[in-house]
Amino acid sequence: MRPYLNKKRLGIPIYQTHLIIVNTIFKEKKKKEILSRGVLS
């Protein structure tokens, strides 16, 4: 029971940082798409 609780507690911050990383990557991709569209038009 103890190791399971520790794992769960550790898993939450890792998941949150993962979400933040995914969000930043997604935002950067969108920025690049908008910039490339601006260059093309």
In a domain? residue 31? yes
Which structural domain, as residue segments, surrounds residue 25?
Answer: 14-40
User: Model-level pTM greater than 0.75?
Assistant: no
Give the Cα separation of 3 and 27 in Å (integer): 36
The number of distinct structural domains making up the chain is: 1
The predicted-structure confidence for 1-41, as pLDDT tens digits, reads as follows 565 655 666 666 777 888 899 999 999 999 999 888 887 76
Q: Is residue 8 part of a domain?
A: no
Q: What does the alpha-carbon distance between residue 11 and residue 3 come to, in Å, rounded to a whole number?
A: 12
End-to-end CA distance of the chain: 60
